[in-house]
Amino acid sequence: MSAITADFIADQNRARLADHREDFDALARKLARRGLDPEALVKDAIAFAVAVPSWGVGTGGTRFARFPGPGEPRNVFDKLADCGVINTLTRLTPAVSPHFPWDKVKDYAELREAAKRHGLAFDAVNSNTFQDQAGQRLSYKFGSLTHTDKAAREQAIAHNIECVEIGRAIGSKALTVWIGDGSNFAGQSSLTRAFDRYLDSTAAIYRALPDDWRMLLEHKLFEPAFYSTVISDWGSSYLAAQHLGPKAQCLVDLGHHAPTVNIEQIVARLARFGKLGGFHFNDSKYGDDDLDAASVSPFRLYLVFHELAEAKRAIGPSFAPAYMIDQSHNVTDPIESLMQSAIEIARARAQAQLVDAAALAAAQEANDALTAHRLLKSGFLTDVSPLIAEARLRAGGALDPIATYRASGYRAAVARERPAVAAGSAGIV
Amino acid sequence: MSAITADFIADQNRARLADHREDFDALARKLARRGLDPEALVKDAIAFAVAVPSWGVGTGGTRFARFPGPGEPRNVFDKLADCGVINTLTRLTPAVSPHFPWDKVKDYAELREAAKRHGLAFDAVNSNTFQDQAGQRLSYKFGSLTHTDKAAREQAIAHNIECVEIGRAIGSKALTVWIGDGSNFAGQSSLTRAFDRYLDSTAAIYRALPDDWRMLLEHKLFEPAFYSTVISDWGSSYLAAQHLGPKAQCLVDLGHHAPTVNIEQIVARLARFGKLGGFHFNDSKYGDDDLDAASVSPFRLYLVFHELAEAKRAIGPSFAPAYMIDQSHNVTDPIESLMQSAIEIARARAQAQLVDAAALAAAQEANDALTAHRLLKSGFLTDVSPLIAEARLRAGGALDPIATYRASGYRAAVARERPAVAAGSAGIV
Amino acid sequence: MSAITADFIADQNRARLADHREDFDALARKLARRGLDPEALVKDAIAFAVAVPSWGVGTGGTRFARFPGPGEPRNVFDKLADCGVINTLTRLTPAVSPHFPWDKVKDYAELREAAKRHGLAFDAVNSNTFQDQAGQRLSYKFGSLTHTDKAAREQAIAHNIECVEIGRAIGSKALTVWIGDGSNFAGQSSLTRAFDRYLDSTAAIYRALPDDWRMLLEHKLFEPAFYSTVISDWGSSYLAAQHLGPKAQCLVDLGHHAPTVNIEQIVARLARFGKLGGFHFNDSKYGDDDLDAASVSPFRLYLVFHELAEAKRAIGPSFAPAYMIDQSHNVTDPIESLMQSAIEIARARAQAQLVDAAALAAAQEANDALTAHRLLKSGFLTDVSPLIAEARLRAGGALDPIATYRASGYRAAVARERPAVAAGSAGIV
Amino acid sequence: MSAITADFIADQNRARLADHREDFDALARKLARRGLDPEALVKDAIAFAVAVPSWGVGTGGTRFARFPGPGEPRNVFDKLADCGVINTLTRLTPAVSPHFPWDKVKDYAELREAAKRHGLAFDAVNSNTFQDQAGQRLSYKFGSLTHTDKAAREQAIAHNIECVEIGRAIGSKALTVWIGDGSNFAGQSSLTRAFDRYLDSTAAIYRALPDDWRMLLEHKLFEPAFYSTVISDWGSSYLAAQHLGPKAQCLVDLGHHAPTVNIEQIVARLARFGKLGGFHFNDSKYGDDDLDAASVSPFRLYLVFHELAEAKRAIGPSFAPAYMIDQSHNVTDPIESLMQSAIEIARARAQAQLVDAAALAAAQEANDALTAHRLLKSGFLTDVSPLIAEARLRAGGALDPIATYRASGYRAAVARERPAVAAGSAGIV
């Protein structure tokens, strides 16, 4: 079968090892010179994990078209196999975030076992009330949790509660709620009554949530609604999370904000008020572009991780947001993009650990803006590639995951097993 | 069949006639007081036309979902029937802009006849190289007219030339070229070589263009490409149009610009340099939202028409851009949205005719900013509803097209004839 | 002196009266046909008021230059005279919002008397900690209420408390707090600690606030800080207002938001949660442009007033946000711009009263998006000029305030009394 | 006096030398492993230069306030002294771009000599018609080169021609023309006639331009005009440059674009069509924030330099845009900010030289998006600090310019000589 073995990885690593050693040693000396402990940093990097979304291993698309690649996963078991490859090579993604009803199966114990066989567990469960499914009684065309029709809202609530049930069966501890509800015309819906219906519906879901679960509320400025979105910004998300109670928190997707907004400050605000629940990592230039993490604004990602590090220092170990990648891979092999993204996220996070927090605080206190900025940026300017490679290596992963993946022939192998998918001519323009 | 008769319209108008007369007379007196000729304005309003897109009568969607309505058109003949209703009631949309291969038929003479029976002609032909079609030899996943592979470019060129051939058969005089080509990653494509390939490919199409045709180049900032788009802005579009020659002009879609950009100034620039070829009307708040015209920024639409009126005064009758609606109707009956949009476009245009150009120029010359602004805005503040209703009335249309349409039962009738379409669960996220 | 008398206004109105009567009667008939009560609407329009800012009657500028006009006010007494003219002609602006230390005087009883003589009262008091004043002990270069130096914070708190004292002396009931605090570099300040300092400082001011006062917290995305602003958005403003207590509310300036953001929804959210305290009206295209109200996006202003009308219906008479104009007049006579803006604000508000709320709610409930939108837009499409002119007329104002003002020769008269101001060559680029 | 001597620099470098050697050697080995020539790269880095603006060494400000620092330069001679320090320490800024009339002196030969004494020459001359100067006959309140009044236009033209004359006297070879002309109200000016006046006025300046000079046209989306700007975007700038002739080219300021626009593609377009004349480097998050280069979006700066490298490869040595920093330093010591910015610009440029252009082109040709992106990003991920430090070292500069500057006591020394400047309370809001 297509699995990538430890031997194969070791074999691939061998040729890269000498160069890696030289680079890592040089970096370690440089870090030590700055008073940092390279070994501790490697251990810290090994401990980091970010979930991948089950749907992310399929090729994405736009309303204009979708161009599938070879070997598209046919079902959640294929998706798990692909996710397994990502984690085997990067050792960064031990959990998968599933989406229902897309990932529905008959037997969830079997699904959990299948994941385990690939070395995977399940992270936050995602509900879906932004599409109509075949056989669905009531349509979400005009909303789901905020629909004016009580029956439609109840159907959406029931779906979310079912997701919690499935989540319990597969070992998840969180429900992520993103809805497309909103309006395309000024006047189409009452901005206030729609929000009130959201509060009511999510309260019903909240009541069904186990005590050790989190409910992650995801906001988004626009799309699929283009005039107003019910949960459009962190302010709305916060109001809802506060209304619901301590198990409800806000989820920040890096692409769901208005242009020019300072996202790292939003992160700081939510963390400060105990409502930062999790992240959807990706990158974007225009809207919710769902591009690969750090491919557009690597410094922004770094600044987000700096705020996370600050929050950790301020709040302590109880501060533990859920990390997930959420991207649309339209022109790359999704496995490659997810590996690359996980690495870039690990890079930004590792860089953020290099900041001298005490010196930074002192420069801030003294209003020495340039020194403070240079201290903050020092982590970003450090090439930590060898450090995160060392972490992968020690955890059993590949020094060069993408080259190793390509050498493995995995994609060609699954393309032989999985039938080709026709290009989508959605006709949606 | 479902056609809406003149008798039915007259019947529907009857009850509204007295109120309309009173309103129109009051407006006419007010306009006359300002030195304007109400009769001339009504005639001018009657002469205005804007094309509707064949695909616009189907329900649109987003990458997340599409929620079809009852009576979705099955083919181009159904679309023509729907377009016929729009024009019958509004008398504003005598031409349809087709899209290929979506509107392909065996016999184009028959298609032209079918249009004629609905009182319609064909406007600009739209090519489609942003999707792969069943059986297509080479994919456009990585581009069409700018693909790195010459064979793919040639396939896209041939498709455009075929569109011109079809256009000749159905009486069109223009080809609109919009491509989705671009990149999702910095580095994915050479920004310069991609543009050079665009120039080469469009030159090949240009050579096949009849002498009395126009080639309309449509730019767009982003989507479906999210890092760079080959023809992203009016500057790139202008460079290409200038490179190609006099038959090539730029097409402005109101939703294809960066946030905050002054679109009416772009209109003024292109008109001044002889390259304003046409418009795609819609409205937008965030990106290419394709909302109904004037539903978000009616004043912006008015300012565009003011620049068009200015250009007409400066250039003379040779200035004749092609007007088309291009919207995505996700939550309304597309026929209703297109009627409403045509009326709002006619409104903005009629309002723009009310501006006292000489007084405005004098205030501008004197730098009396407030007076100039008030003169410009005076047209917008005038409620011209009775004027454009009078124009519809005289042309045989409905005083209240949407109420008349609803009273006709057209949608229910076609819903009986046309099979229901399943909701799209594209799975594209 | 330069005062504009009732006789002069009556004289000016005389020539416009017949046309006005005809227009108003036509509108009244049209409104009655829709089931509206024109008389009630006129009375409602007469009751509306919006404050003008004392600094608004001086010519504004940018960091590049300031180009003063003739007759710039020399002090707060000149400003009151100018504000008096605005209210005399429009009958819309009976209150002035002062700014300290700019409007500091020795004797506040005298100031209150001076205002009274011009028919004016005082609205919300504005503190100023975004500039250093001559003789000021500690600089606000690196912040005021959020400065890292406790002494600087205390100085800023003391200034705000002094503003409250002055406000009590002149009959004000609200303090508006806008600070420029933020940072120009990532890392320059701790995003979290700066916010915590804001909470502490405003709490100290809050404690000094009389029980019947409101404290209005004003947020702004950027400028004068260009990387981060402490109170950058409504979310931060809400968190602070909630933290402080019931007397603290949020103030919405229409130009202080990120591009594309749906401001009317923010209005709805704050109103729903009891924290909408007031408005700064202006218009903008790019940033905090401080352009004249409704000159860029009149429909947006209308939609804001629609939400205010909705909130009033939902909450009742206790819902009473403070309305103020806040603009920078760089190329017009400030008196003219403020009159024009007050009229446009009154127009948008009057239009918003025309919406059939019950029909709108029914269309929303039925998800008839187009009907709902048309119902909402019906007010905006109605030319209420005669209605708001009638309100001015009955209240003693001018039918055409700007023409009447120009005819009065007020500007020339004050230009003779007030020395010319040299153009600013700030050298700030 | 305050000059920083070679001995002092050598002394400061000494303590840093061993660490630098180790870091540089490690980097050199790594680069060599990639097939790059470290020595050639150092030489290339030594050859790079970017001009500093004379006004940049003074503290900037906003329309709200300006907070000067100690030792503000009193005149152009003080500015040259400060600029000399920047170049002495960084060896990156051997030329100064002056601004007139701000830098007017009696004797330009003396000015040139003064510059020479500080090791400096003069780069592009900047004209100023966005402010009124004391004693100026006609105001630019309503425009300069595009003013409706011919006499005002002629005054602005004459000023530009005077700038060229001064430029000849001080050894400059380029004139940068940025105007604030535009409008604050729709209707205030004719968008088309304003542009025509621009073309006429710049043509008059162009005729006075020596044959070996360049005229750099600078566009800007908004500010100080907030509704429309005459030269608002690269399209308008290109049209004008093309209209004027080969000596006219476009200047790109990184902060003068609409939000989300792809600036590197604009760079590629202008270069491709022979009209890329120069740059104003800075960084920005919201508008024309004029923040320090690479402090917000270092990757964007890198991508710009990648396009410049691509253009150089395509066009050859004739491709030589003028590089200048243009920032507003509000919270830092301007000398420190300019040094830091010059270093960051040199960093981005050095990183861009590391890209394997052939491999990148091959990946692009093969549509291997991920590989292409990784190849492009490889330069950015490389920490070239030791490489650009080595270049500084060999050229006589400081290993750590900012630490060395602080150690020198320069600021304190000039603060003793130059009188303190009062904080600006412009009253412009």
* Average model confidence (pLDDT) across chain D: 96
Whole-number pLDDT of residue D290: 97
CB C61 within 8 A of CB C88: no
Cβ distance of C336 and B370 shorter than 8 Å: yes
Q: What is the pLDDT of residue A424?
A: 64
Q: Which residues of B touch C336 (CB under 8 A)?
A: 370
Per-residue pLDDT, A2: 46
Q: Does B206 touch chain D (CB under 8 A)?
A: no
Q: Is the pLDDT of residue B2 over 80?
A: no
Whole-angstrom distance, CA of residue A96 vs CA of residue A341: 15
Contact (CB<8Å) D295/C131: no
Contact D32, D75 (CB under 8 A): no
Contacts of A365 in chain C (CB under 8 A): 148
| Distances in whole angstroms, Cα of residue B364 to Cα of each of B310, C293, D188 | 14, 20, 6
Helices (H), B260-417: 263-272, 298-315, 334-352, 357-365, 369-381, 385-394, 401-408, 410-417
pLDDT at position A428, please? 45
- Residue A318 forms contact with D (CB below 8 Å): no
Tell me whether B227 touches chain D (CB under 8 Å): yes
Given the DSSP bridges, would you call strands C182-183 and C228-229 parallel, antiparallel or unpaired? Answer: antiparallel
Helix (H) or strand (E) holding A53: strand A52-53
B424 band by pLDDT with thresholds 50, 70 and 90? low
Which pLDDT score is estimated for B1?
A: 40
Kind of pairing between the strands at B228-229 and B182-183: antiparallel
CA distance B27 to B384: 8
Interchain CB contact of A425 with B (< 8 Å): yes
pLDDT-based confidence at residue C424 (cuts at 50, 70, 90): low
Higher-scoring residue by pLDDT: D428, A220: A220
Cβ contact C264–A186 (<8 Å): yes
What's this model's pTM, rounded to 2 decimal places? Answer: 0.97
What is the distance between the alpha carbons of residues B329 and C387, in angstroms, rounded to a whole number? 36
Q: How far is D243 from chain A (nearest CA, A)?
A: 32
pLDDT tens per residue across span C186-195: 999 999 999 9
pLDDT for C3: 75
* Tens-digit pLDDT profile for residues C200-248: 999 999 999 999 999 999 999 999 999 999 999 999 999 999 999 999 9
Q: Please tell me the distance in Å from D341's CA to the nearest CA on chain C.
A: 13
User: How many whole angstroms separate alpha carbon A309 and alpha carbon A243?
Assistant: 27
Instruction: Note down pLDDT in tens along chain A; length 429 residues.
Output: 447 999 999 999 999 999 999 999 999 999 999 999 999 999 999 999 999 999 999 999 999 999 999 999 999 999 999 999 999 999 999 999 999 999 999 999 999 999 999 999 999 999 999 999 999 999 999 999 999 999 999 999 999 999 999 999 999 999 999 999 999 999 999 999 999 999 999 999 999 999 999 999 999 999 999 999 999 999 999 999 999 999 999 999 999 999 999 999 999 999 999 999 999 999 999 999 999 999 999 999 999 999 999 999 999 999 999 999 999 999 999 999 999 999 999 999 999 999 999 999 999 999 999 999 999 999 999 999 999 999 999 999 999 999 999 999 999 999 999 998 877 644 444
pLDDT tens-place string over residues B353-402: 999 999 999 999 999 999 999 999 999 999 999 999 999 999 999 999 99
- pLDDT tens per residue across span C70-123: 999 999 999 999 999 999 999 999 999 999 999 999 999 999 999 999 999 999
Residue of chain D minimizing CA distance to B371: D188
Q: What is the DSSP string of B23-91?
A: HHHHHHHHHHHTT--HHHHHHHHHH---BEEGGGGS--B-SS-B---TT---SHHHHHHHHHHHHHHHS
Integer Cα distance of A202 and A194 in angstroms:
12
Environment class of C169 (CB within 10 Å of its CB; exposed 0-12, middle 13-18, buried 19+): middle
Distance (Å, rounded) from C-alpha D106 to C-alpha D114?
13
Instruction: Give contacts of D261 with chain A, Cβ < 8 Å.
Output: none
Q: What residues of chain A lie within 8 A of the CB of D369, using their CB?
A: 331-332
Q: Report the pLDDT value the prediction gives residue D426, as an integer from 0 to 100.
A: 45
Question: Whole-angstrom Cα distance, residue B113 to residue C357?
Answer: 47
The DSSP 8-state label assigned to residue D249 in this structure reads E
* pLDDT bucket at D27, cuts 50 / 70 / 90: very high
For residue D364, the chain B residues in CB contact (below 8 A) are 148, 187-190, 193
> Is C19 within 8 Å of chain A by CB?
no
Q: What is the mean pLDDT of residues C52-76?
A: 97
Instruction: Assess C34–B contact: CB distance below 8 Å, yes or no.
Output: no
Contact C226 D284 (CB under 8 A): yes
Interchain CB distance below 8 Å, B426 and A180: no
Cis preceding-peptide flag for A94 (omega within 30 of 0): no
pLDDT of residue B139 exceeding 90, the answer is yes
pLDDT at residue D186, as a whole number: 98
Cβ–Cβ below 8 Å for A186 and B296: yes
Binding-face residues of B in 86-105 toward A, CB within 8 A = 102
* Residue C423 binned pLDDT confidence (cut-offs 50, 70, 90): confident
C372: distance to nearest CA of chain A, Å? 5
Mutate one of A59, A137, A184 to test the B interface: name it (highest B CB count within 10 A).
A184
pLDDT at D429: 43
| Residue A166 near residue A100, CB atoms below 8 Å | yes
Return d(Cα A49, Cα A302) in angstroms, integer. Answer: 16
Q: Band of the pLDDT at D3, cuts 50, 70, 90?
A: confident
> What does the pLDDT look like over B286-342, one tens digit per residue?
999 999 999 999 999 999 999 999 999 999 999 999 999 999 999 999 999 999 999
Cross-chain CB nearest to B139 (options A227, A284, A423): A423
Are A426 and B424 within 8 A, CB to CB? yes
Among partner residues A285, A377, A383, which is closest to D260 by beta-carbon distance?
Answer: A285
Amino acid at C166: I
User: Is the CB of B260 inside 8 Å of chain D's CB atoms?
Assistant: yes
Q: Band the pLDDT of C151: cuts 50, 70, 90.
A: very high
Tell me the C-alpha distance between C191 and C178, whole Å.
Answer: 18
Contact C49, C324 (CB under 8 A): no
Question: Does C374 score more than 90 pLDDT?
Answer: yes
Q: Which residues of B touch D375 (CB under 8 A)?
A: 187
Interface of A with B in 270-309 (CB under 8 A): 284-287, 289-292, 295-296
Q: Is D305 exposed, middle or buried (0-12, 13-18, 19+ CB in 10 A)?
A: buried
Nearest Cβ partner of B364 from D188, D238, D258? D188
Spell out the alpha helix ranges (H) of B245-297: 263-272
pLDDT at B423: 74
327-346 of B, contacting C, C-beta below 8 A = 331-333, 336-337, 340
* Whole-number average pLDDT of chain C: 96
Q: Give dist(CA D316, CA D250) in Å, integer.
A: 19
pLDDT at D424: 65
